[in-house]
A and B are shown apart, each in its own frame.
Chain A
Amino acid sequence: MAKVILEVNRLKKFFDVNRNQTLQAVNDVSFQINEGETFGLVGESGCGKSTIGRTILGLYHKTAGEVLYDGEDIHSLKENDRFKLHKKMQMIFQDPYASLNPRSTVQEIISEPMEIHRLYRHKKEIKERVYQLLAEVGLQRDHANRYPHEFSGGQRQRIGIARALALNPEFIIADEPISALDVSIQAQVVNLLKEIQHEKGLTFLFIAHDLSMVKQISDRIGVMYLGNLIELTKSEQLYDHPYHPYTKALLSAIPIPDPEVEEKRERIILQGELPSPINPPSGCVFRTRCPMAMLICEQQKPPFREIAPEHFVACHLYS
Chain B
Amino acid sequence: MTKETAYAVEVDRLTKRYGDLPAVDDISFTVRKGEVFAFLGPNGAGKTTTVEIIETIRPPTSGKVNLLGMDVTKKKHDIVHRIGVLPQGFSSFDRITVRETLLYYARLFSVKTDIDGLIELVNLRDKTKEQYRNLSGGLKQRLGIAIALVNNPEVVFLDEPTTGLDPRARHEVWEVLLGLKKKGKTVFLTTHYMEEAELLADTVAIISKGKVIAMGTPGELIERNANYLSLTLKPIDEKVFEIVRKMGFGPVLDNHKNIKVRVEHTYDVQKILNAIKDAGALYLGLDVRKPNLEEVFLKLTGEALREDPDEMETE
Q: Do chains A and B stick together as partners?
A: no
